[in-house]
Amino acid sequence: MAQTLKEKVTAHLKETVGLGDSDVAELLALGQGVVAQALKDFPALLQAADLLALAEAAHALKGNLLNMGLDDLAELAKAIEAGAKTGDLDLVRVNVEGLESALAQF
């Protein structure tokens, strides 16, 4: 059976980073907060076509996802950042939708 995102992050933080249970729980909660805020902010930023804020939010999310060992999802955030920097709102929109779908249960 495939790991959930929470299980994947927990394993990454324990095995790769070497953190204990309490630190893992704290970082997981912080990471989930960053993800939730980004998913909340992206639609409004897209609606406003605020490219700078989109790029900044995507960059912060990318770093958060990388720190949690979610490299594949960080690639979607990287694409959002790139799309925002080049003004490609279609690229941003597609990747925001991909992240929303992938992170819905996180």
Q: What are the extents of the domains in the chain?
A: 8-103
- Mean per-residue pLDDT, 90-98: 96
Mean pLDDT score, 64-89: 97
Please report which confidence band the pLDDT of residue 94 belongs to, taking 50, 70 and 90 as the band edges: very high
Residue carrying structure tokens 């059976």? 1
- For residue 15, give the DSSP letter: I
Q: Which CATH architecture has domain 8-103?
A: Up-down Bundle (1.20)
For the chain, how big is the Rg over CA atoms in Å? 14
Q: Looking at residues 14-32, what average pLDDT do you find?
A: 95
pTM: 0.92
Mean model confidence pLDDT for the chain: 95
Nearest CA-CA partner of 96 in 50, 52, 41, 56: 41
CA 79 – CA 92 distance, rounded (Å): 7
Distance between CA atoms of residues 41 and 24, nearest Å: 26
